[in-house]
Amino acid sequence: MTLDATGRESNIWDSIKKYFIDNLSYSLSFDRALSAPNLQGTDVTRWVSFTLNDMVIGDMSSIMLDIYCCTRQDNEWHKLSQVRDTVFDLLIDTTKTDTMRRIPLYQSHATNAWTLIGSLMIDEITESARMEAEDETKFKILHVRLRTASKV
């Protein structure tokens, strides 16, 4: 018996990546928390990095996602505030009574069209204080708990 599409980590991760690639104009990274995306010939001063963390897959799955909002050459932290606000806008939906965004959950496929199979509801957002790394990268982490109905 195979794992249902709603409980597959690959579908969850691909859906998260698609949502932010489609909706954010900043440089994005999906493999390292503070590393700036490696863009040849471009000095990246604003970027967002994503890390998938703890997952509990069950009838109501819980997925932890850390979103690192990062800047460089940002003397007064203003750029970081702008990046944080832009990302935060994608995590809330003021048209919903609970204000939490639903991210489409797809069954992804390498060559065929993706199929919509549900949604990832943003259940809770907590954020860190402003921090600065040794390389002068300024950053803030948004800890996001996603919930979705899954079949196991």
What band does 39 get if pLDDT is binned at 50, 70 and 90?
Answer: low
Tell me whether residue 141 is exposed, middle or buried, using C-beta atoms within 10 angstroms of its C-beta: 0 to 12, 13 to 18, 19 or more.
buried
Distance in Å from the first CA to the final CA of the chain = 10
Q: What pLDDT sits at residue 33?
A: 66
Indicate which CATH number applies to the domain containing 14.
Answer: 3.30.2000.20
pLDDT tens-place string over residues 59-92: 999 999 999 999 999 989 999 999 999 999 999 9
- Structural domain contains residue 110: yes
Please give the residue range of the domain that contains residue 117.
5-29+44-149
- Please check whether residue 120 lies inside any domain of the structure: yes
- 38 pLDDT more than 80: no
As to burial, measured by CB atoms within 10 angstroms (0-12 exposed, 13-18 middle, 19+ buried), residue 148 is buried
Q: Is 39 inside a domain boundary? A: no
Residue 119 belongs to some domain of the structure:
yes
Residue 35 placed within a domain: no
Query: Is 37 a member of any domain?
Result: no
Whether residue 76 is contained in a domain is answered as: yes
In a domain, 49, yes or no: yes
Q: Given this model, what pLDDT does residue 40 score?
A: 61
Number of structural domains found in the chain: 1
Is residue 44 predicted with pLDDT exceeding 60? yes
How does pLDDT run across 77-86, given as a tens digit for each residue?
Answer: 999 999 999 9
Q: Report the relative pairing of strands 27-29 and 46-56 from DSSP bridges.
A: parallel
